[in-house]
Structure 1
Amino acid sequence: MPLATTRRAGLVEQVIEQVRSAITTGEWALGERIPTEAELATTLGVGRNTVREAVRALAHSGLLEVRQGDGTYVTATSEVSGAVRSLCGSELREALQVRRALEVEAARLAAVARTDAELRQVTELLTRRDAAGHARKFEEFVRADAEFHLAVVRAGHNELLTELYRGISEVVAGSVAATSEKDIAEGTVVEHVGHGGLVEAIAARDPDRAAAEAAGFLDELLHEHG
């Protein structure tokens, strides 16, 4: 990842900003190990102490996790996501309860505010998700499913809700993926967890039905993990 050469003043702050940008733009993906301290120091033309301070600050805000003897990994895509992750910990049920609150309202907003382009994107992502599910392609299904739900949330045009949702989705993604593994392996995940009704409600600009469809899916997950 080519990073801009830093200026002499405020080096730590500049390194923090460039590393944050690499994370928020997806240059370094969630769960990915970032370059080593030495590599970053060389790339940026700064001392290793400067890099160390920047990484420490980003770890404190929840974007990075330093794993001794292994490396430093991306654990959140923003400070908001990092804070949500810290608050939720690993409690799947609590995360799902909050996700339900956000996703139901997001579905309602999407039905009202979505554009034609956003509806096409949501529809295309659902098609990709379902195709991966039928083909029993686990990683493709999980990725497309996450992209689908995020696209629905974004279609509501509420930036704060979108950022909060991203934080929750990062917390539950791994655990939810694990709960779907059996259905994906058997090729039944689309029948068990379908989202066609949600897309139809958004297309029809029916906020009440969209909210009900989103609630139904998440209520099933909560029942499974009661």
Structure 2
Amino acid sequence: MSSSPSPPPSPLGAVRPSPLVEQAAEALRARIAEGYWPVGTKLPGETTLAKELGVGRSTVREALRALAGAGLVRPRQGAGVFVVATEPAEDWPTRLRRAAVTDVYEVRMAVEVHAARLAARRRTPEDVTAMQLALRGRRVASTGDDEAFVDADIAFHAAVVAAAHNPVLTDLFMEFVPVLRKGLVDLLALTGLRVQEPNTADEAHEALVRAVADGDPETAAAVLTAELEDPFGG
């Protein structure tokens, strides 16, 4: 005996006048999330959707473009628009904010240690000066609170990464900064590490500058590896 058919879904309903694209996209996103259009399903045409939503075809087109950008739908040339996911894809910054600090920190080590090697090979006199100034700024910040010190510490590490002259490494490091900053500030507050040593790991930072300036990639990598394995993490 066959089961009775499911009741038809309620109409999408016309959206309010503004902002039309955002409202149209949200209405379509909700229908996808409800499973009305499962993954692999072809969406109705623009004309049909426009009629249901009470908007123009151009608004539907922009809404579908927004859903495609979120990873929910994908157009196929000559075939239409198909559902490929029921939840929007998270962008990189969002994923980093949700990641465990320890996971981010492991990737930070890989990025920075490699950057230190490159920096020792590629540094310019201006890069060395920038690192020396950042080291001086870190020392000055050691007399301030934990947040100021962490900011100065991150600025120092950013100067080392910049000396690698690889824009991808630089951008990747900067994506980590918000998560790193919060994690390091929280760790200092928890451990009270700077109570006894306000300018913690200063010697390691100075050794790193010296190794990069001397063009010694392996020493630079070794110094930074040891530094980042410290509970404060440099």
Matches of 2:145 and 2:200, distance apart in 1: 15
Q: How far apart are 1:203 and its partner, in Å?
A: 1.0
* 1:171 matches 2:185: no
Which residue number corresponds to residue 228 of structure 2? 218
Match of 1:107 among 111, 116, 120: 116
Name the structure, 1 or 2, with higher relative contact order (CA <8 Å, separation 6+). Answer: 1
Change (3 A) 1:137 1:222: closer
The percent of aligned pairs where both chains have the same amino acid is 33
Name the one with the larger helix percent.
1
- Residue by residue over 1:12-46, the C-alpha shift from the partner in whole angstroms, topping out at 9 and shown as x without a partner, is 9xxxxxxxxxxxxxxxxxxxxxxxxxxxxxxxxxx
Q: Unmatched 5+ residue regions in structure 2?
A: 1-20, 22-61, 71-90
Which residue number corresponds to residue 139 of structure 1? 147
Q: What letter is aligned with 1:96?
A: Y
Q: What letter is aligned with 2:173?
A: Y
Match of 1:89 among 89, 94, 98: 98
Larger Rg: 2
Runs (4 or more) in structure 1 with deviation over 6 Å come to: none
- Residue by residue over 1:164-215, the C-alpha shift from the partner in whole angstroms, topping out at 9 and shown as x without a partner, is 111122222111122124233x251424464111111011110000011111
Contact 2:115/2:169, CA 8 A, preserved across alignment = yes
Where do 1:70-89 residues align within 5 Å? Answer: 83-87=92-96, 89=98
Contact 1:93/1:222, CA 8 A, preserved across alignment = no
Equivalenced residue count is 145
Q: How far apart are 1:88 and its partner, in Å?
A: 6.1
Q: Unmatched 5+ residue regions in structure 1?
A: 1-11, 13-52, 62-81
What is the TM-score with the length of structure 2 in the denominator? 0.55
What is the TM-score with the length of structure 1 in the denominator? 0.57
Change (3 A) 1:108 1:189: farther
RMSD over aligned Cα, in angstroms? 2.6
* 1:128 matches 2:137: yes
The range that moved more, 82-91 or 204-213, is 82-91
